[in-house]
Structure 1
């Protein structure tokens, strides 16, 4: 995607001058925003700048097709709220004071670009990345916050919230941070603003489907304009099929390669669905074997040098393979369908009925989709009613990773700030918001993002807002997972994909990879820093990290996440050692 660094300091600051020289030596393009504030950019897709009033937006910025501007009244942040409603993209904004110093920074609601800021001596810095040369020059007095780390390791949603370092501040998506640092961030945008309340939960299905399709088309066409030539991932599933169909329908982008990776197990080989999609859209698909290799310490450490643990970059062999194939096709970017499961509501569970019950009570039993939901979940309607009533009494529970690998945390852990709206939002809608939070990590660094631009339109603001505004029971129209998305794009997709009930599954492939990597992963975790800090349950991990236990219980995802966190801790402890 590309990275940026903003440095604001007195004109005569020797450290600022040295940093500017370091940035140029590192290959970054440097320009002045004001006499004492400069910007450095780099990457496969170098961030651009756009002036909007007093703000300089850094990154990719698009005008909304049909913006709905908030009526902010006397709100002092009225202009900024309208700014994030009028534009969408992958950007941060910087506002300078009359003296040319950084006065405020904001981050776009999708969180596509990281925005970390801190002050050191006479310098204010804002950065999307944390290169070695920057840390060497500054030698910041930071420390790893192991309490925050333990929370993030247990709660998957906290990995994209506050940083695991004491010192720098990560500006949340859709928020504004003023300077000097110390004041709380001001939310300009939150998912809850777009969730329809129970009293306003009725919406016409046809209108909702059109709204969803227009939002996807807006995001796809906008991002497709960025590269001169691109590839498009087609997994064989609904989400990537929707993105591909939007590209073809709108004739968006110069697509040089329609790329599919297939596994060597029946459930991971989706070539029949890819062939049906290619035939329906009139495109030529290239299907290649999925690249795989055992986990290595080098691979884990390679993706651990940024602000957060490198969870998005764990599949090193696949990333390297796809980068080469995209480049060989003469493209500089790849578009994916990632994020669709979450935002389109993959889980047509009984939680959907609970949301419906909260809005309509006994009248919810007249909804034509209730029978389908009960059949899909293999429960009776009255069981769903009982569960909905229990939720009204007991509320929700935050997601948590498995206890077998981690030691329990003391006390109740607060939820992610975007989930703090609590009882006003039903469980299915809360899960959708959790998906929006999780999708922020889709933009995180990986070997792909280092070398090509990775475009995720289903994680973009127009799609997020459109889907959040539709009640969960309508998102599962027909009692189906992603039912409204199926309805919205049924005329663009082959029937085989629209009516597909199975889903590609890579569990066996990644499970085999971890089984073949136990000689690396066992000592990595059992003798690592997480165990030394008492975050990892060493006795439990010793049992879990055996071939017999893995084949019986699995937990592959938890193991790889813990391995990524371990790599991040080792890397940052070494980086934060201050010279004597």
Structure 2
């Protein structure tokens, strides 16, 4: 391999001091944004979340001509205009608001990619960004995608397990991390400590990649996928750092297949090599300091972000948008999936697919959301094989 995350999780190059970690992370992000933007004309997709707002703050120090667009689906859950405007004003970047209609899930313009790439549900948003990019003659789109992964957003007690393995269970730093994770997840200290104990006991177990059968037929086997070279190294990593590497790897599935790349490339500064290498050198427990997610990143740009953005805990959602798209297009999705390539190969549980398209599902019900990767894969197959 030309590059490996295992090189940057060694204790001898660890950035163990919180202030030093924050400073170095800010420097790496500023450098990545400056180099990727150059002196061109860039368009930032600005949601007003922490990650895209950090990119806006870094663009403010570049020579590039930066503009931003904030997308909304018209529903309250996706309306982040207040946050986006505050972030744009702080960075001194012009901001335009655009509303996105429902994506066409069937028969979208297809390009042949090595993997499905951009989810079909985001097709309408991609079209809006393409229009803006073409109208403004930009040289690059900019996105804060990958920030949740690179900035080690905690999804378990991995950071607490790491602290315990490194410093011991009696150490004050270990219990400070346990308390921070409990505060973040609104959980009890003892439940987090118990989970951390389990993770620490199995520290040498690399774990398995999360998988779900979804709408696959019960007769379809789920063979083990070839082990990614990065994952072969994770058995020697601390549990929380192993989760960090897994998250970064997962984020790379969402950076290609964008039709807007016919207009200009998309730059993902938070997934650039200097930023990822810096992030990997930061211990997992520093990322949850004070009970906040992405704590090092928040501190790195504390003086450049408005309080509303820096301390923000909420995040826009597309749950209602996705469910509305499936419900409105159920009549077209039914023959598309039930008579598609996946169905003809005997890969789908056709009765479950049909029931999911017939029933009105609630937002918390995962069944409709599990349809989305099936729809993506069928579209991808038809790009290569044509209609069945």
Runs of at least 5 residues in structure 1 that lack an aligned partner in the other structure = 1-186, 576-580
Q: Which whole-Å CA distance do the structure 1 matches of 2:70 and 2:209 have between them?
A: 31
After superposition, residues 455-474 of structure 1 pair within 5 angstroms as 455-474=267-286
User: C-alpha displacement at 1:466, in angstroms?
Assistant: 0.7
Q: Which whole-Å CA distance do the structure 1 matches of 2:281 and 2:15 have between them?
A: 11
Give the structure 2 partner of residue 293 of structure 1.
Answer: 103
Give the structure 1 partner of residue 30 of structure 2.
Answer: 217
Assess, with a 3 A threshold, how the Cα gap between structure 1 residues 413 and 391 changes in structure 2: closer, same or farther: farther
Q: Check the 8 A contact 2:120/2:375 in 1, yes or no.
A: no
Give the structure 1 partner of residue 331 of structure 2.
Answer: 519
Q: Check the 8 A contact 2:149/2:247 in 1, yes or no.
A: yes
Matched, 1:386 2:194: yes
Q: Which whole-Å CA distance do the structure 2 matches of 1:570 and 1:276 have between them?
A: 43
Q: Check the 8 A contact 2:52/2:144 in 1, yes or no.
A: yes
Give the structure 2 partner of residue 16 of structure 1.
Answer: none
Partner of residue 321 from structure 1, selected from 116, 120, 128: 128
Q: Which whole-Å CA distance do the structure 2 matches of 1:348 and 1:491 have between them?
A: 27
Matched, 1:362 2:175: no
Give the structure 1 partner of residue 8 of structure 2.
Answer: 194
Give the structure 1 partner of residue 81 of structure 2.
Answer: 271
Q: Which whole-Å CA distance do the structure 2 matches of 1:194 and 1:200 have between them?
A: 7
User: C-alpha displacement at 1:260, in angstroms?
Assistant: 0.8
Q: Check the 8 A contact 1:350/1:373 in 2, yes or no.
A: yes
Q: SS where residue 417 of structure 1 aligns?
A: coil
Q: Which whole-Å CA distance do the structure 2 matches of 1:391 and 1:463 have between them?
A: 27
Assess, with a 3 A threshold, how the Cα gap between structure 1 residues 450 and 360 changes in structure 2: closer, same or farther: same
After superposition, residues 467-546 of structure 1 pair within 5 angstroms as 467-546=279-358
Assess, with a 3 A threshold, how the Cα gap between structure 1 residues 322 and 485 changes in structure 2: closer, same or farther: same
User: C-alpha displacement at 1:241, in angstroms?
Assistant: 0.4
Q: Which whole-Å CA distance do the structure 2 matches of 1:348 and 1:316 have between them?
A: 28
Q: Which whole-Å CA distance do the structure 1 matches of 2:88 and 2:15 have between them?
A: 37
Runs of at least 5 residues in structure 2 that lack an aligned partner in the other structure = none
Q: Which whole-Å CA distance do the structure 2 matches of 1:507 and 1:262 have between them?
A: 13
Give the structure 1 partner of residue 55 of structure 2.
Answer: 243
Q: Check the 8 A contact 1:543/1:549 in 2, yes or no.
A: no
Q: Of Structure 1 and Structure 2, which has the larger fraction of its residues in helix?
A: 2
The count of aligned residue pairs is: 383
Q: Check the 8 A contact 1:212/1:466 in 2, yes or no.
A: yes
Q: Which whole-Å CA distance do the structure 1 matches of 2:368 and 2:198 have between them?
A: 32
Q: TM-score, normalised by structure 2?
A: 0.89
User: C-alpha displacement at 1:522, in angstroms?
Assistant: 2.3
RMSD of aligned Cα (Å): 2.6
Give the structure 2 partner of residue 282 of structure 1.
Answer: 92
Q: Which whole-Å CA distance do the structure 1 matches of 2:88 and 2:382 have between them?
A: 45
Q: Check the 8 A contact 1:511/1:554 in 2, yes or no.
A: no
Q: Which whole-Å CA distance do the structure 1 matches of 2:225 and 2:92 have between them?
A: 51
Assess, with a 3 A threshold, how the Cα gap between structure 1 residues 203 and 264 changes in structure 2: closer, same or farther: same
User: C-alpha displacement at 1:425, in angstroms?
Assistant: 2.0
Structure with greater contact order relative to length (CA < 8 Å, sep ≥ 6): 2
Q: Check the 8 A contact 2:88/2:95 in 1, yes or no.
A: yes
Partner of residue 440 from structure 1, selected from 246, 252, 257: 252
User: C-alpha displacement at 1:224, in angstroms?
Assistant: 0.4
Q: Check the 8 A contact 1:370/1:479 in 2, yes or no.
A: no
> What does the per-residue CA deviation read over 1:85-118, in whole Å, with 9 as the maximum and x for residues that have no partner?
xxxxxxxxxxxxxxxxxxxxxxxxxxxxxxxxxx
Q: Which whole-Å CA distance do the structure 2 matches of 1:475 and 1:372 have between them?
A: 10
Give the structure 1 partner of residue 149 of structure 2.
Answer: 342
Q: Which whole-Å CA distance do the structure 2 matches of 1:313 and 1:333 have between them?
A: 22
Q: Which whole-Å CA distance do the structure 2 matches of 1:521 and 1:398 have between them?
A: 33
Q: Of Structure 1 and Structure 2, which has the larger fraction of its residues in strand?
A: 1
Q: TM-score, normalised by structure 1?
A: 0.61
Assess, with a 3 A threshold, how the Cα gap between structure 1 residues 561 and 304 changes in structure 2: closer, same or farther: farther
Q: Which whole-Å CA distance do the structure 1 matches of 2:212 and 2:222 have between them?
A: 16
User: C-alpha displacement at 1:313, in angstroms?
Assistant: 5.8
After superposition, residues 411-426 of structure 1 pair within 5 angstroms as 412-413=224-225, 415-426=227-238
Q: Which whole-Å CA distance do the structure 2 matches of 1:453 and 1:413 have between them?
A: 31
Q: SS where residue 452 of structure 1 aligns?
A: coil
